[in-house]
A and B are shown apart, each in its own frame.
Chain A
């Protein structure tokens, strides 16, 4: 086969473009780019969390920390324990984000429950709105991500997030947060936190998949998002969420 110089340049150019696209996605997600079969436009990711099913074991926080190499003292996901006594403000704790679980309750006569938290991957994300250079964005499949190669580290997004889900990574000096395990979900896997939840309290859902159980769940169950008055379009829905939870 004869290959002209022009063909060589064309081929080289194409390879260069592909390589650079791959490199960018790799940098964004922290791992290899999505598989070829994955089409962003076919998905719209979120999560359903059943408060009644969470036992506060902290498996999710540990799995996330390991999977994503989360720096010590910061959290992409964590679990809070609420203890509520009638007529009093709730007592809330999350020792080390529940990485080591929780100590036993001191009182057993109070209403108590666990609330797993993570980025809500909002549709109208205040964090995305305020980023001065657009380094944080909503991906076409509904995941709020940070381009680590572009983030200035101004931390306006940290201030704008109503849920406390962002932090400045002490090594990269860029803002870091839950990626909904983008490197996993784009390969057909679930997130590390969902995979390691022993009770199935956390469930990754795809709103664009007509066969996803989320549709039946939303039709038959009462659900709520955190701080609905913030109107952020949160896509992490909670079942059996108490009104005291913030």
Chain B
């Protein structure tokens, strides 16, 4: 059960756009250049551990549903191969000088899959639904910031905000809904469209066999041109071992490999003959979080000591087989908001012990565990069950900490109980979890001192006046340079304060069947140009589907 937290509304876009990459190309097994000419036809089969729960992104929360929705719907904007915002259903847009008004100029000639034209009415309808209390959506907040929305003509949509709100642009990556098909449903999650979606996207919905598969076919009228692949089929395969076997036997065309599979199990001649492997930094990081009000962790020196004591390279080698990078903060290397010059914590157990001693922790009774005033340095770290990487990370950290005299117990909990009983009620010492990093660098929800309430995401209780101020600064301007300054400074403070020990950014490791051409790795990953992937005529596998 890989669970990542979803920060931005642009999740739908993010999932389709894939993840960022640090350097140019994939390690070794790069994409073949398109030797054979693009051709229409064939089917693309991928696997998913979970089934779709609905096709309307606004009312679903799982990645399987969002991935599926991404084939059928479009947003006003999306992220391009270099992670810059570009227009999708909006051809262009302007932000007013005071930063409070955004005017979107919509594309003309776009039609819904049922033939009706797409207009600003649909965008207005989508906006109204997002803020409608009857819509069970988790993504309303960004839209609530809008003070006034209007559509003066069928191809213009204008929104105004009380104050400039930088994450606003990205929020309009939310999938646009067809007004004419949904207006009669007060709760869109109960509408037939949630099961049989109709969108403007590159693929049309064909079939959803619950628990088994979803099937999409190419939309010949797609405004960017018909995709080359005729069909996209997602098979539900709940077990990773089975999925890997299916990949190897040809039952799947693409799969995200585990680091172990990538390094040791796919190096055979046989595998290389049939598959290309890609590697790029994924948009997320794993961390060790401290409850800052805990007596052990309220002292900054203790947290810093942990950063020195934990051997991040060992974790990356052991858990990721080297396929990842050490993390220094909550931003991804290669993105514009990333500050490479923050304080680093190289592996140094002696320094760690010194810092702990400074904070008053010494081994007075010689039992190998530090103590202070009669209290032992012992705590429990919580993580969620079913996540292999986190369990291994915890085990390695346990060993590293034992070497400096800190005793860490590991407790794995089932996800729901974990969140409800421990995280939300603040009944934890430390946790090992991960966050997804959104493309927009606004991380207000995680770091703002106003977000420390129950069920909110600053559950470690981080409260830093300067960071609060910088977070506001960052989200209230559209000027990239100003935002960059704010976020750079935030990272400096984080590195100093170590509210988390930031552990690693894992790599994304997809393997794709060799017959699929057109894949061009970029900072956004490989899936951003999915509609341009094709299979040369002579290599088609699924011939029963008409091109």
Do A and B interact?
Answer: no
